[in-house]
Amino acid sequence: MNEKYIKVSGNKIRYLEEGTSKNNIVLLHGLGSHAERWERVIPYLSKKYRVIAPDIIGFGYSDKPSVDYTPEFFVKFVFDFLETLGIDKTGLIGSSLGGQIASECAATQSKSLEKIVLVSPSGTMKVSNPTLDAYTMAALYPTKNTVRTAYEMMSGSDKIEPQTIEHFIERMLQPNAKMVFMSTILCLRHAPTIMEKLAKISIPTLVVWGRKDTMIPLEYSKDFVLSIKNCKFVVMEECSHRPHSEAPEKFSKIVLKFLDQ
């Protein structure tokens, strides 16, 4: 994967890029995460698509301006990012927070978006739970123990790679990282419901959810599936919150089948 940097509305944005196709796919990671969260699926997707995975503004090694991290702010970033790269047509794949951002982008009915894939998206869950609490604790107090606990709860497994823990700690210790994390949570929690926005989505949509997801439980999938008109739904039985990391080959096959239709 090629690591690149670009200025978007005055902010330095880091992104990964792979593939030479004329057809584009942009991958949007989740809260407190970074572009490498997609590293296990990029080799599959990049065989057919030019794949671009940014560190969303405020996260990873991208700039972290002191602003309110509202849904509208993230939507503007995505479209500014696409414009800066000269991308006029693309698909969006978003996980968790990235899924909500992708759905909100699609709700604008922009002609630049062709299809979207939402992976356990946030947006309709307005309450916390033990897994989200543990993840928030890890972000605010990033030690090996807090981060390991959060990832074990999120994945339902105690087999967490050391580099996953190290990468999270390294990024959360950057200036403004904790502010961005909490601003995002608070802005999302107090934002209006996205149900009406979901009803405005008209492009083909695939919703993928892990059966064992405790971060955003499967029950919240019905809000998306019932609200989005042109929607397909796949439950990955063996997965939790991050099926793209947990079962990358199977996930990629599901996504590529949808994108190629």
Pairing state between β 2-8 and 90-95: unpaired
| Ranges of the chain whose pLDDT falls below 50 | none
Could you report the per-residue pLDDT of 51-94, keeping only the tens digit for each? 999 999 999 999 999 999 999 999 999 999 999 999 999 999 99
List of domains in the chain:
2-123+192-260 (3.40.50.1820)
Answering whether pTM is above 0.85, one says yes
